[in-house]
Amino acid sequence: MAVPLSPGTDEMKIGLTYDLCSEYLSLGYSEEDTAELDTTETIEGIEIALHSLGYKTERIGNAKSLMMRLLNGNRWDLVFNICEGIFGDGRESLVPAILDDWQIPYVFSSAATMALTLNKALCKRVVRDAGIPTPDFCLVRNVDDLENSKPEFPLFLKPVMEGSGKGIGEHSLVWTEEEFNTVCRHLLRRYEQPVLVETYLPGREFTVGVCGNGPDARVIGVMEVTFNKEVMEIYSYENKQNYKEVVVYHKVEGEMAEKCGRLALQVWEATGSRDSGRIDMKLNKLGQPEFMEINPLAGLNFKNSDLPILARMNGMNFTQLIDAIMQAALKRIFLGSEAHSVMMKNEQYSYYPT
Ligand SMILES: Nc1ncnc2c1ncn2[C@@H]1O[C@H](COP(=O)(O)OP(=O)(O)OP(=O)(O)O)[C@@H](O)[C@H]1O
Ligand SMILES: [Mg+2]
């Protein structure tokens, strides 16, 4: 049972902000437009976990519903925000910015971190500036940029501001100038945003779950991602719903887990990420992990999202994961970073006990 840390309240009212996939599909958006959005099952899973931890919850919905409710005088002690948004490069920042303006605390990263991490090129610059390895890269913003200098082949091409595998497929790995030209033109046309052109990382792939803030930030698990289709050399599923047919997960321990965990915590700090998230990385040709991307809004479907899966592999069930996220947020918001640590006491969740 969680011990809520809000001053003077022992039963907090938690508002839930989210973008429901079905709502946008019924408005005429495509499966691909809504690939990053959440299902009712995900919202129900989070609600059930919060209730079992002793919190009261209220569904708010998307940014527009939040705005209407705020203007109607509704308030919450804290908002559990998993809104992905749908338009523009501030789409993940919108709800955090509104809540900041109304001075309502919320779980997960701030507007600035959401905007930074949504743009993979900007994020790579910040990460690289912190001395963290990430593949060399350039941006193709339009066809004129196709002539610019770029890293050596093989290259990996993806839209600079998408998630959930959008725009990524077997076409992403290119070996020749001709392939490079064709794929860049296709991605520019299809996704109407710059193409991120990166050195291809040929080695094993890992995803690392992090929970906590400042000195309390902890790795909750490291998971290797492999592919069970023999023909598939790269992660090429377009939609995570069919992940079971394509992806196999393995728990990683020992020296490799420590290396990946250290890199993840450095990225966590460099990007100012908060409460919980997931960092993706892959080994370079020398067998060393390099940063690919960070997800400050990691999927939270209790059955099939990567963060709950990797938590489970490390002895943390879904309710314990939500508890750890809430404790991280509450400590950050109500106790400040100097206060006595109340989270992640169980060292089995952590590779880096203080
Ligand atoms: N530079 C690279 N070299 C090799 N493979 C890469 C590279 N960048 C991305 N990939 C492959 O493409 C996949 C998706 O890339 P990335 O994580 O950037 O996209 P995403 O759509 O944001 O992912 P997610 O599904 O985690 O939201 C990676 O998991 C990896 O398999
Ligand atoms: Mg990823």
Confidence (pLDDT) at 339: 41
Nearest residue CA, atom 14 of ligand 1?
Answer: 165
Q: In the chain, what are the domains?
A: 13-117 (3.40.50), 136-199 (3.30.1490.20), 205-349 (3.30.470.20)
Average pLDDT of the residues in 154-158: 98
Quick check: CB of 164 below 6 Å from ligand 1?
A: yes
Quick check: CB of 173 below 6 Å from ligand 1?
A: no
Ligand 1 pocket mutation pick from 282, 294, 307 by most atoms within 8 angstroms of CB: 282
Q: Residues 61, 65, 71, 76: what is their CA dihedral angle, to the nearest 10 degrees?
A: 0
**Which of 279-293, 299-313, 337-351 has the least mean pLDDT?**
337-351
Neighbours of ion ligand 2 (CB under 5 A): 280, 293
Confidence (pLDDT) at 279: 98
* 163 has pLDDT over 90: no
Confidence (pLDDT) at 229: 64
Percent of the residues in the chain that have a pLDDT greater than 90, as a whole number: 81
* Residue-wise pLDDT tens digits, 167-182: 999 999 999 999 999 9
* Residue-wise pLDDT tens digits, 211-263: 999 999 999 999 999 987 654 544 444 444 455 567 899 999 999 999 999 99
Q: Ligand 1, residue 167: give the atom nearest the CA.
A: 21
pLDDT band at 354 (very low <50, low <70, confident <90, very high): very low
The pTM of the full predicted model, rounded to 2 decimals, is 0.90
CA of 280 to the centre of ligand 2 (A): 5
* 6 has pLDDT over 80: no
Confidence (pLDDT) at 245: 61
Q: What does each C-alpha distance from 135 to 83, 86, 114 come to in angstroms?
A: 29, 28, 21
* 274 has pLDDT over 60: yes
Average pLDDT of the residues in 17-44: 91
Quick check: CB of 221 below 6 Å from ligand 1?
A: no
Of 336, 210, 207, 353, the residue nearest 276 (C-alpha)? 210
CA of 69 to the centre of ligand 1 (A): 37
Percent of the residues in the chain that have a pLDDT greater than 70, as a whole number: 87
Quick check: CB of 92 below 6 Å from ligand 1?
A: no
Which residues, listed in sequence order, are joined to residue 291 by a DSSP beta bridge?
281
Residue keyed to tokens 């939040």: 66
pLDDT band at 34 (very low <50, low <70, confident <90, very high): confident
pLDDT band at 348 (very low <50, low <70, confident <90, very high): very low
Quick check: CB of 291 below 6 Å from ligand 1?
A: no
